[in-house]
Structure 1
Amino acid sequence: MTAYEKPEVAMNDIESLLRSQLGPGAVEITPMDGGNMSNVYSFRIADQGFVVKFSDLDGAYATDQFVSNLLSGHDIPFPRCLASGQFGLLNYIIMERMQGHNLSECSMEEQEQQLPELFRLLTNLANVDIRSTNGYGWIGSDGNGAYGSWRDFVAAAYAEDQTGTFWENWHDLFQTTFLERDIFEEVYNRLMSWLTYNESNRSFVHGDFHQWNVLSDGTRITGIIDGNCMYGDPVVDLAVLDRHMPWMGMIETYENYLAKENIVIPYLRERLIGAYYYKGLDGLRFYAKMGWKDAYDETRAFLLNLKSY
């Protein structure tokens, strides 16, 4: 199995799409870095900035409009969706462009100074009102989760049959890449044991909350983008943040924040272990598919050494 390649889009096709959806006036159409699953372009109309994304994956962007509406009014800087749909064989979405640059571009000192605001946003995301929805796992276009329980979702996420998704035929990775079946199965068994602590918690989860999906102006957080949004244990977002910024002493700093704000999260450390296994296992097969051996080896070592705090 070869590494996933994002679809190519001709500039005249992009111009045609933007003209049909937003009228004339789109200028400075520029490809953007990042986006493992999408080709992303920025553009301007008058003095406003926007982005358009393209993907050839089935169902791409189906829930983005719902999530954008869901997060509005919760003091969460998430981009507004203007249009989405099919463009030839591709899916597209047009959203407003949030101000700022990736948090990863800030100095270490600037990143550390913004940790309290990151933690506040984690709290706001977890407190979004989802009482009108049901289910766990990936959020569908109807706003509901696809599974009856977190355990069912995790089992389905790592099942062999993933027809019609990014992970179709993913078991081929055991033969065609450096993905090791015995290591994968060991981590999966640990995951299924520890998720007992996670499965009773149901909140909104961004699913990819790290410094490349958080925007900043250097002193404050200006935007959150590109979620793999789901319903489940919000501690998943904390685990992602910690694994992408391990030099920050994230968990201890977060616990100090909780104490200062008088926020109690039951079984935080135990839930973190389940979240690490869940995200880490997905990381192993993703890094294998993309051919990122160093990231695979680092994640493999972390997971195998993760037994308890």
Structure 2
Amino acid sequence: MVIPICHLAPGTDRAYNNPDHCRQGGSFMAETAFKKIEMPACEAEKLIRLHLGEGASELELLTGGNLSTVYAFTHQNRGYVAKFSPLPDDYKVEKLVSGFLEGRHVPYPACVGQSTYGAAQYVIQERMGGKPLASYSAEEKRRQFPQLFRILSQIHSTDISGTRGFGWLTASGDGAYGSWEDYVAAMFGEEQERGSFWHDWMRLFKTSCLEKDVFEECYNRLLAYLPYNAPHRHLLHGDVHAWNLLSDGTGITGIVDGNFLYGDIWVDVVNLDRHLAQMNVVEAYLNSLGAAADEIPHFRERLKGAYYFKGVDALRFYAKMGYRQAYEGTRQFLLGLD
């Protein structure tokens, strides 16, 4: 699952079967809003002992986030987090990703345990220092761009020559699909795995603010740009935004909660650009590469393909979660892109 372009607080009222309500004023909370899994502290402690032994302390339930229930704790004077999700494929490649990034100067948390517990998937990772980059001023964020872009470049230049495929990483290290086109078709197909986040997602056209004509227009534009992104295959974080970047105010201390996949690097860059509006992320990233847009073949087409890829998924995500403002903003951006 692709995580959306930005995070805005949901509305408080309900409106059903009325897409216009989502963009003509009034609040909206989707009937289908995602429910996090309930994980009592005592059960979390039991699983922590299973992987790390006795001695966990300062267990704290963290707030925020869209999909996972997260506990922070200390063990032998080191900080960790334990994350729990009801989604069947969550966390299954965390150890693989840790191995990919080891020694690459990427502050991604090491995985110390991952398994299934009842209906929950869970992972235990080291806790990274700092606080979300989102909590800093625009100027403080901008000063950290050079380091952030170096981190992204390190991820994107990871040696993946021993793997193949596109889209989500599988346990073997390969991508789940033979081509970028196949991945996009499967991602937005009507048939989705039962129990997954997107199972029966097309009902959102009737139960949420998701407008079928707008969705299909933007999806068709995405298809038109697919050939430009399709040849490019790199390791991507998949969800780069200011809440998944940690900082101590002077530098990036962690990049967390990846949805790792194989694809075009501009997918990561445009996601960050949409989160940090008015900060010219794309231009700044080009400058960090020492390249001009005209020097990169089909740059504008690749960029638009990436915007549509992230944006189309964001439309249905915001509709499902009831994030009216985010839906409206993404809708306006996408329709004005061409």
2:62 corresponds to which of 23, 32, 36 = 32
Query: Residues of 2 paired with 1:33 and 1:223: CA distance?
Result: 18
- The structural deviation recorded for 1:265 is 4.2
Counterpart of 1:59?
A: 89
Measure the CA separation in 1 of the matches of 2:69 and 2:150.
31
> Residue 281 in 1 paired to residue 317 in 2?
no
**Are 2:150 and 1:120 aligned?**
yes
Q: Residue 193 of structure 1 aligns with which residue? A: 224
Aligned to 2:72: 42
Alignment counterpart, residue 183 of structure 1, candidates 202, 205, 214:
214
- State whether structure 2 residue 320 is matched by structure 1 residue 295: no
Contact 1:26 1:43 (8 Å CA) reproduced: yes
Structure 1 counterpart of 2:282: 251
Shift of 1:21: 1.6
Corresponding residue number in structure 2 for 1:174: 205
Is the CA contact (8 Å cut-off) linking 1:40 and 1:52 kept in structure 2?
Answer: yes
Return closer, same or farther for 1:94/1:128 CA change in 2, 3 Å cut-off.
same
Given candidates 25, 29, 41, the residue that maps to 1:11 is 41
Distance 1:206 1:15 in 2: 29
The answer on whether the counterparts of 1:81 and 1:96 sit within 8 Å (CA) in structure 2 is: yes
The one-letter code matched in structure 1 to 2:38 is E
In 2, Cα distance between the equivalents of 1:253 and 1:62?
A: 34
- Deviation string for 1:169-213 (max 9, x for gaps)? 000100000000111000000000012110000000111011111
Q: 1:137, CA displacement in angstroms? A: 0.2
Amino acid at match of 2:285: Y
**Distance (Å, rounded) in 2 between the aligned partners of 1:89 and 1:160:** 24
* Residue number in structure 2 paired with 1:203: 234
The equivalent residue for 1:148 is 178
Q: TM-score, normalised by structure 1?
A: 0.96
In the alignment, the residues of structure 1 paired with residue 66 and residue 240 of structure 2 have an alpha-carbon distance, to the nearest angstrom, of 14
Counterpart Cα distance in 2 of 1:180 and 1:159 = 17
| Structure 2 CA distance for partners of 1:265 and 1:88, relative to 1, 3 Å | same
TM-superposed CA distance for 1:87, in Å, is 1.3
Q: Which amino acid aligns with 2:303?
A: L
Question: Where in structure 1 do 4 or more consecutive aligned residues deviate above 3 Å?
Answer: none
Gaps of 5+ in 2: 1-30
Find out whether 1:87 has 2:117 as its counterpart.
Answer: yes
Deviations 1:34-56 (A, max 9, x none): 33121011100132100000011
Query: What value does the CA root-mean-square deviation take over the aligned residues?
Result: 1.6
Which segments of 5 or more consecutive residues in structure 1 lack a partner in the other structure? none
Instruction: Give 1:17 deviation, angstroms.
Output: 1.2
Tell me how far apart the structure 2 counterparts of residues 40 and 93 of structure 1 sit (CA, whole Å).
Answer: 10
In structure 1, what is the Cα distance between the partners aligned to 2:250 and 2:300? 30
d(CA) in 1 for partners of 2:303, 2:296? 11
State the aligned residue count: 307
Q: Is the 8 A contact 1:138 1:229 kept in 2?
A: yes
Residue 246 of structure 1 aligns to a residue whose secondary structure is coil
Distance change in 2, residues 1:260/1:175 (3 Å): closer
Q: Per-residue deviation at 1:7? A: 0.5
User: CA 1:253 to 1:160, structure 2 compared with 1: closer, same or farther past 3 Å?
Assistant: same
Partner of 2:99: 69
Q: Contact 1:235/1:268 (CA < 8 Å) preserved in 2?
A: no
> How far off its partner does 1:254 sit?
2.0
In structure 2, C-alpha distance between the alignment counterparts of 1:118 and 1:203, rounded to whole Å: 17
The C-alpha deviation readout for 1:112-134, integer Å capped at 9, x for no partner, is: 10011111112111100001111
TM-score (norm 2): 0.88
Q: Secondary structure at the match of 1:62?
A: coil
Cα distance change on mapping 1:226 and 1:265 into 2, 3 Å: farther
Q: What one-letter code is carried by the residue in structure 1 that aligns with 2:272? A: L
Give the 3-state SS of the residue equivalent to 2:65 in structure 1: coil
Provide the rounded CA distance (Å) in 2 between the counterparts of 1:83 and 1:111.
32
